[in-house]
Amino acid sequence: MTQTKNILIGQSGGPTAVINSSLAGAIEAAKRTEKIGHVYGMLNGIKGYLEGRKTDLLALSEEELSLLKTTPAAYLGSCRFKLPKDMEDPLYEEIFRRLEEDEIGYVLYIGGNDSMDTADKLSAYGAKVDSDIRFIGIPKTIDNDLVGTDHTPGFGSAAKFVAAQVRQIVLDAEVYQQDAVTIVEIMGRNAGWLTASACLARKYEGDNPVMIYLPEVDFEPEEMLRQIRRRLKERSALVICVSEGIHDQDGTLVCEMSQSVAKDVFGNKQMAGCGKVLEQLIRLRLGIKVRSVELNVTQRASAVEASLTDVEEAFECGRQGVLAALEGKTGCMISMERISNDPYQLAYTAKPVGEISNEVRAVPTEWITEDLADVTEAYKTYALPLIQGESRPPMQDGLPVFLYRDLSKSKQN
C-alpha cells in the first residue's frame, strides 16, 4: 500500500517571467501520482508559511493552470528570508511542527541562491531530527548565477527580452544624424550573464551595441571614453550596455560614484544607477548628447516576450522536482546539464544543494574580449538556444491575461 503524503511548494526571491511555470510543472506532476494527496502552496514563501498562510493548489482549474504557466512574477507571493545558521534555533522546530501537522511529505522551494540555502538548511535539520520529509530546490533567477547547472530558468526569457529591447533601442537611437551615446543599464550585480545577452541584439558585424561592460572585470572610465571617441569617427549613434554591478579596480561600484555628494531637495542621497553616472561623465567629458535607459523590473517581469524554451524548461524543472522527491531524494536542486548544443539537448539531474547555495557563477573571463568591452562568440553560442521560441500568454481586449490573486483588501482578510 502506497503511503499518501501532501506536498508543499513555495516561491522565494525576486520574480521572473517563468517561476510560475515551474510551479505549474510541479502541480502537474503532483496531480499525476497517487503518492501525493494535497498540493499546498506557501503564501509568501517560508515566512508566510510560518504565519500559517497557505493555499490549496488543487483548487486551480485546468484553464487556470495553463494561465499560470505564462504568468510572470510569483503567483504564491515571495519573501526574502534567510533561515538561521543555528540548527538549535526554535524556528526549525516550529517549521517541522507545522509540516507534520499538514502531513507534508515533500517540500519544493523555487528560487535563487537564498532559496537554495533554505532548502539546504531544512534538509539538514530534517536529517538531524530523522524526518522523512524530502526537500528539493528548483532553480530560478534571471541572473543565471547559480553554480551546478548549465543555466537557470528565468534567464532565457530575460535575455530574450533584453536582446529584443536593445535591438529596438538601437533603431531608436540611430534616427538622428548627431553624435550621441545611449547607455542601457541591465540587471546583474555580481554576474554579467544578462548584460552580455545584449550582444544578441546585433544585426550585423560592427552593429550597436558597440560596447558591453560586465561586472566580472574592472571597469575603467577613461578607457570607455577613449573607445567612444574612437568609435564616433565611424558612426554617430553609439549604444553601450552596462551591468548595474560594474565597478572600478578598487571595487567601487560605478553607481556609488555619484552618491557621496548628490543630494536632492529633500536632503536625501541621490540613488543613481550606473547608467546615470556614466551619462553624466560622458556629457561632461565629451560634450555630446547622452541619455541612459534603465530596463529595470521590466526585464524580469515580461512574460509577453518570454522564451518558449525557458517556459518549457522551467515547467520541466518543477516536474522533475516532484519526481526527485518521490524517488526519495532530499537536499538536492534540480540541475540542467547541456548534453549537446547542436541540436540543443538537456538532461535533468538532482545535485546536492549544499554545493550550490551561497556560490556565484560568473561569466568565464575567457568569454570576455581583451579590451574588456564585449563578449566573444562563445557566449553567443551558449546563450542563443536559451532564447528560442515565443511564449505568448493569451490575449484579451488587447492585453495579456494572467492568473492572479485579488490583493485589494488583503490587509483586511
| Binding residues among 171-190 for a copy of itself as defined by CB under 8 A | 171-177
Residues 17/152, Cβ–Cβ less than 8 Å: no
Is position 280 an interface residue for a copy of itself (rule: CB under 8 A)? yes
Min dist CB 275 to a copy of itself, Å, is 10
Cell of 200: 544578441
Of 295, 298, 381, 335, residue with least CA distance to 150: 335
Residues found in the chain: 413
- Alpha-carbon span 99 to 393, nearest angstrom: 35
143 is catalytic: yes
Q: How many Cα neighbours within 13 Å face the side chain of 169?
A: 25
Binding test (CB under 8 A) with a copy of itself, winner from 143, 305, 316, 374 = 305
CA 186 vs CA 142, 197, 300: distances in Å: 11, 10, 11
Tell me: does residue 150 bind a copy of itself (CB under 8 A): no
At 266, list the grid cell. Answer: 529633500
Q: How far is the CB of 177 from a copy of itself (least distance, A)?
A: 5
Nearest approach, Cβ of 361 to a copy of itself (angstroms)?
22
Q: Which stretch binds a copy of itself (CB under 8 A): 188-196, 245-253, 322-330, 403-411?
A: 403-411
- How many whole angstroms separate alpha carbon 376 and alpha carbon 130? 49
Of residues 101, 233, 251, 377, which one binds a copy of itself by CB under 8 A? 233
User: Rounded distance, CA 135 to CA 251, Å?
Assistant: 37
Among 143, 145, 310, 374, the one annotated catalytic: 143
Q: What mask, x for binding a copy of itself by CB under 8 A, covers residues 374 to 393?
A: ----------x--xxxx---
Interacting positions 115-134 with a copy of itself (CB under 8 A): none
Of 256 and 355, the one with the shorter C-beta distance to a copy of itself is: 256
Region from 211-219, 265-273, 322-330, 365-373 binding a copy of itself, contact rule CB under 8 A: 265-273
Question: Cell 500568454 maps to which residue?
Answer: 393
> Which residues within the stretch 347-376 sit at the binding site for a copy of itself (CB under 8 A)?
none
Residues 6+ apart with CB under 8 A from 227: 210, 211, 371, 373
Q: Which of residues 309-338 bind a copy of itself (CB under 8 A)?
A: none
Q: Could you give the residue numbers annotated as active site?
A: 143
